[in-house]
Amino acid sequence: MAQRHIIIVVIGSSTCPQEISQIAYEVGKGIAQKGGILICGGLGGVMEAASQGAKEAGGLTIGLLPGIEKKEANPYIDIPIVTGLSIARNAILVRSSDAIIAVSGGYGTLSEIAFALQLQIPVVELLSWKLGMPIIEANTALEAVEIAF
Amino acid sequence: MAQRHIIIVVIGSSTCPQEISQIAYEVGKGIAQKGGILICGGLGGVMEAASQGAKEAGGLTIGLLPGIEKKEANPYIDIPIVTGLSIARNAILVRSSDAIIAVSGGYGTLSEIAFALQLQIPVVELLSWKLGMPIIEANTALEAVEIAF
Amino acid sequence: MAQRHIIIVVIGSSTCPQEISQIAYEVGKGIAQKGGILICGGLGGVMEAASQGAKEAGGLTIGLLPGIEKKEANPYIDIPIVTGLSIARNAILVRSSDAIIAVSGGYGTLSEIAFALQLQIPVVELLSWKLGMPIIEANTALEAVEIAF
Amino acid sequence: MAQRHIIIVVIGSSTCPQEISQIAYEVGKGIAQKGGILICGGLGGVMEAASQGAKEAGGLTIGLLPGIEKKEANPYIDIPIVTGLSIARNAILVRSSDAIIAVSGGYGTLSEIAFALQLQIPVVELLSWKLGMPIIEANTALEAVEIAF
């Protein structure tokens, strides 16, 4: 039998300033240190920083790519899932998670938070969309990971 | 050559109180009266009321169903598109529109508004999510239709 | 209430020789003459020829585009549905049909025939994949349309 | 940096006779023994047997589920990806592979083989659809794995 690890999905923009990137890195690292598997959209920015953090802590990373090519994946993705679905892949990302951590992020991230709320999947946010309850606001990467687990 | 009609997508919940239903009905009617084609998610509530409004004004209605059966469509849908994609169909709904009118609505509607903002498709809202610009707030069904066209 | 028209999906390659194009044109024309709605993948080749045939006979045409832009649609598509799903849109095309007519076609067409067989949707083929029953082989465009209806 | 393992996708029916199940088990085992990652549709039959084989040889298994619930996954899936796309998930399964091994299988399997041929992804088949080149026919599970790698 397979041993099901906790799956945490990290969402956020494909480009981001250095301080957001640093937070995402720590989120990814924390997920791996707690034995979780990181799934993200597989691209740059928050996704890449979180993947790097997870990899450097010895974790496993999966990227659900929107496009049609494996090479679209950032270099810290172990397993690229090539959806070819464009933004519709956001729905799969959300559905596949046990909990979601949103780090900053724009409208794409908002669509994912909305899906999570619709599907009643726990969302923790760090410097991201403030929609009120039931989204849980975290103040640090570590706190976000603690809450997600 | 085909004559491309303006396509307006109406979004909102699959269940709604009577006063929202009435507004959705008028939005649908207005779209058809202006020669637009109504696309919606094909289910009940706001979607059904808007479809009924469009049909009673002689318009054409298309429903992008989330499930796997044509019979899921409300009785005012001329052409059911059976996506079988569950909530991922929200992305297609948004992409296929020239403009979107949101009537009230919950988290599913929020995911669609987020996609529209990401894709830079105009959104008019009536008693729906207030995310500030660039969403345009309308006060009446007629005004929403005017702005959308 | 909406009046549900028979929906025939025409499948085949996005490029094709003139004689295949002529057959597809006649299939599209026949569908419209019988009051059916033509849905296809919205691109060139068999899809465009069938759409042209349907339009010139006064029919309505819907294109389920694989890409992310309306302008990808051939000029005979009335209503472009912009799926952004790449080849995964083939599943929606099949699910939305009352019957399918395959005109010639390659591997993409084969994937659609396979989905139709799986979903038990009737398939008529003209110079297309010969997989034996339950696919019905037609010898002329007219015959294919007759069988589909 | 992540170390990209070879990803082999195993396709086949969700129910199958014992002898097919045995072959699928050996295919999964062989993939894991060679250090590959097994991705499949995550359900029963061929998918479950292959997953069991991979797990018992210490491999990693990922299931791209068609439905909306994690619990749909067979007990040998480490990481369930919950697509909610119904049969449209077949396209993602194919796109995410480096090579595909088809073990027996019905029309769903045929749709996947067709997608693979369209995308020029190598397909090895064992007692499955005989469409001629470029599909490679294998006679044993071991041979199928050897060819796929």
> Do residues B29 and B19 make contact, with C-beta atoms less than 8 angstroms apart?
no
Model pLDDT for residues D29-47, shown as the tens digit of each residue:
999 999 999 999 999 999 9
| Total Cβ atoms within 10 A of residue B72 | 16
What torsion, rounded to 10 degrees, do the Cα atoms D138, A70, C14, D114 define?
Answer: 20
| Tokens read off for A130 | 């403030």
> What confidence tens digit (pLDDT) does each residue in B52-68 have?
999 999 999 999 999 99
Q: Which chains touch A (3 or more CB pairs under 8 A)?
A: B, C, D
pLDDT tens readout for residues B87-110: 999 999 999 999 999 999 999 999
Q: H-helix or E-strand containing C100?
A: strand C99-103
Contact check, Cβ <8 Å, B92/C81: yes
Contact D91 C86 (CB under 8 A): yes
Kindly report whether the peptide bond that precedes residue D134 is cis, defined as omega within 30 degrees of 0: yes
Return the pLDDT at A4.
85
**Strand, helix or coil for residue C92:** helix
End-to-end CA distance of chain D: 23
pLDDT(C133) > 90 = no
- The per-residue pLDDT for D134 is 83
Mean pLDDT of the C51-64 span: 98
- Please state, rounded to an integer, the average pLDDT across all residues of chain B: 95
- What pTM, to 2 d.p., does this model score? 0.96
Q: Which residue of A has its CA nearest to C87?
A: A84
Burial readout A37-67 (b: 16 or more C-beta within 10 A, e: otherwise): bbbbbbbbbbbbbbbbbbbebebbbbbbbbb
Least confident among B1-5, B9-13, B34-38: B1-5
Residue among B49, B46, B77, B43 nearest B61 (CA): B77
- Higher pLDDT: D50 or A141? It is D50
Work out the average pLDDT over C57-83: 97
B38: which residues sit within 8 A by CB, 6+ positions away? B8, B9, B10, B28, B31, B32, B50, B51, B54, B59, B60, B61, B62
Write the residue in D86, D110, D119 that is nearest to C114 by C-beta: D110
pLDDT > 90 in chain D, percent = 87
Please give the pLDDT value at position D96. Answer: 98
Tell me the pLDDT tens digit for each residue of D98-145. 999 999 999 999 999 999 999 999 999 999 898 877 889 899 989 999
Quick one: average pLDDT of C122-135?
Answer: 88
Q: How many helices (H) and strands (E) does chain C have?
A: 5, 7
Cβ <8 Å between A95 and D68: yes
Looking at the complex, report in whole angstroms how far the Cα of residue D78 sits from the nearest Cα belonging to chain A: 5
Using CB atoms, pick whichever of B2, B5, B76 lies closest to residue C76: B2
Which chain D residues are closer than 8 Å to A63 by Cβ?
none
CA distance D6 to chain A (A): 9
Shortest distance between the Cα of A123 and any Cα of chain B, in A, equals 13
How high is the mean pLDDT of chain A? 95
Question: Cα D29 from chain centroid?
Answer: 12
Distance from CA of B10 to the nearest CA of A (A): 17
Residue A119's DSSP bridge partners are none
Chain D interface, Cβ < 8 Å to B: 68, 84-88
Taking a C-beta distance cutoff of 8 angstroms, is the pair A7, A34 a contact? no
pLDDT at position A101: 97
| Residue A69 one-letter amino acid | E
pLDDT of residue A57: 97
Predicted pLDDT of residue C131: 84
- Which pair of structure tokens corresponds to residue A91? 């729905």
Q: Which residues of B touch A110 (CB under 8 A)?
A: 110, 114, 117
C-alpha span between B95 and B9 (Å, rounded): 10
Query: How far is it, in rounded angstroms, from Cα C37 to Cα C45?
Result: 19
